[in-house]
Chain A
């Protein structure tokens, strides 16, 4: 098997979903997660205060967080909501599973491959940009031009699309034949877009429309998305799975597909505040690898009310979690870029930029960008925010955490007050020329202005 996957590990995970202790879901949330998180944070003295820098440079704190995460992973495991059982692994088992993780993978095919490597904090190495309008709802009519505008950008090395709002003019119903029809339509449109932009081998995040195993299996069968694409599999917060995710994990193992595991710990939720979220990033990544053996590891902590990954407290927790994972394991990890602001605003650049800088110097291997305006508005996304992330991330590769902290703080100051009443911006078709797909002058001007501000303030070359 590829990608450090081991069939016995897969079978063991499935066994544990069938044979682990039966646990009431409320006990899982409140005690196995809530109480254990609080106790572990206290035991390891993990704290994140509001006056801490947005990028911490405390290796001891990051390493304590890792130890706390390992202990918690072995104590908690994963909850399977279908069997109501706690899937658990011993620390020895977890260490063996983590030791088998690859520290480098190449996705895509032909001339369009991208190699993702494990990175350490402050490392001067390439951060891969996994770009696109992640999950943004989009009509069938605009699907091709909207995505073509992204796929043609060479800075985007792995491509993820938005979500079809309908299929063949019909509503898409989760778990129904329509999800299967939509998955196949999405695949056909994706390959058409890749051929239009001359990047047929570009790795695709897939299957975007799949909300159950129906879409995933339909979209990755014969003639569908390829093993060289990046298939997706997620946790339900916090550290919960379901049969449909385990079915996907089994499917990926059998077709030797790359997969990106992802989860979204909640700031303000069962894991508590910033320190709890940082711990969840570590603990969740460890048990997610044990449950799914995903090739890539995406963490997208989210503010429980704002549903954004760029809230200042979330950002601070995320970067610490990334540091702990980067310093202590072979994880190929990315943050998930989910700003409150939409395209057509300056704020979206500050939000996505702050996350890109903090994550890059914290040691992420790649960056998922962007689910603009929190993915709530149809067509509210533009390639410019992804390009900004890419330019900024590459500009700070090799930068020290101490030097990055003021850049992040400067950006946070420019968006934090707008987050409670987000600036949703405008849809793609109002910001881009629909013939050339280029950004319209007023939108391009905002992009250029922010680039110039950052260059002037911090001496970066964008």
Chain B
């Protein structure tokens, strides 16, 4: 096992324990010993987060552990990785893509959408979470202002599907449909509805949503 592989294993254990101080300390120590910030991210953070995502898929860990791990990594990025990238003027960490996520208007359910947001984040995507009960116009406007690559929409309720259709209509109306990949999920959506709307993909689970976004951005 190489030194970085051992550090990655330790980093994963620290993430699972939710220990921010230790994670920050390990990152600092590794960078101080000469590892580039991008190398640390790719060799330690990214595979650790991927492993955490896998463990959540199999429910070897639960949502709070995944939330905590994502928060710890955010702190490591803020305290160690980003300052190191800025001071070294080296190339920064490349985002896997920028995703706007929302539970559409009329629907207040948030857990499914929150899981997708987290799973995307732990897989390297930049995610703008607009929350629940979000109007089609807000989704379209934020996608534009954030220059998003992907618009992700969720709904648990069949009566909220018309609001998903509105998003497609608004994009067509603004002649910006081809600027975004639009994906959907949630119990009320189906592959058939997704196809009918002309969406770029449908995911039944958070894991499928991640795979879909990775495929889109490949």
The residues of A with any CB-CB pair to B shorter than 8 Å are 29-30, 34, 38, 81, 137, 163, 165, 171-175, 179, 182, 209, 211-212, 236-237, 242, 266-270, 272-273, 276, 304-305, 307, 374-376
Contacts and interface: CB of A to CB of B under 8 A. Distances in A.
The 5 closest A-B pairs by CB, nearest first: A174-B106, A174-B159, A34-B64, A173-B162, A211-B157
Interface string B177-215: 000000000010010000000000000011000000000
Given A179-B159, A272-B62, A272-B64, A376 B187 contact: yes
B187 A174 contact: no
Contacts of B59: 267-268, 273, 304-305
A257 to B, nearest CB: 22
B103 to A, nearest CB: 11
A182 B56 CA distance: 39
Interface string B112-127: 0011000000000000
Interface in B130-182: 132, 157-163, 165
Interface string B48-86: 000000001101001110011000000000000000000
Given A211-B107, A305-B59, A270 B158 contact: no
Contacts of A375: 187
A447 B190 CA distance: 29
Contacts of A171: 161-162, 165
A268 B159 contact: no
Contact of A174 (B63, B64, B115, B157): B157
B111 interface: yes
B59 to A, nearest CB: 5
B34 to A, nearest CB: 36
A209 B187 contact: no
Contact of A269 (B68, B105, B107, B111): B111
Nearest to A179: B159
12 contacts: A34-B64, A172-B159, A172-B162, A236-B110, A267-B59, A269-B62, A269-B63, A273-B62, A305-B59, A374-B187, A376-B187, A376-B190
Given A175-B106, A211-B107, A305-B205, A270 B64 contact: yes
B111 A173 contact: no
A29 B67 CA distance: 10
Main secondary structure, interface of A, reads loop
Contacts of B161: 171
B108 interface: yes
A270 B64 CA distance: 5
Contacts of A81: 108, 132
B22 interface: no
B159 A236 contact: no
Contacts of A174: 105-107, 157, 159-160, 163
Contacts of B68: 30
Interface residues of B, number: 30
A21 B160 CA distance: 31
Contact of A307 (B56, B114, B132, B187): B187
B109 interface: yes
Contacts of B162: 171-173
B158 A172 contact: yes
A243 to B, nearest CB: 10
B128 to A, nearest CB: 15
A179 B162 CA distance: 12
A304 B115 contact: yes
A371 to B, nearest CB: 10
A270 B61 CA distance: 11
- Of B57, B106, B109, B161, chain A has the most CB atoms within 10 Å of the CB of B106
A30 B190 contact: no
A307 B157 CA distance: 14
A237 B163 contact: no
Contact of A268 (B62, B67, B105, B190): B62
Contacts of B107: 174, 211
Contacts of A209: 159
Contacts of A305: 57, 59, 205-206
Nearest to B160: A174
B159 A266 contact: no
For B59, B68, B158, the residue with the greatest tally of chain A CB atoms inside 10 Å of its CB is B158
Contacts of A307: 187
B20 to A, nearest CB: 13
B57 to A, nearest CB: 7
A268 B110 contact: no
A184 to B, nearest CB: 15
Contacts of A237: 109, 111
A212 to B, nearest CB: 6
B63 A304 contact: yes
Contact of B108 (A29, A236, A272): A236
A30 B57 contact: no
Nearest to A376: B187
Contacts of B158: 137, 163, 165, 172
Interface string B97-108: 000000001111
Nearest to B132: A81
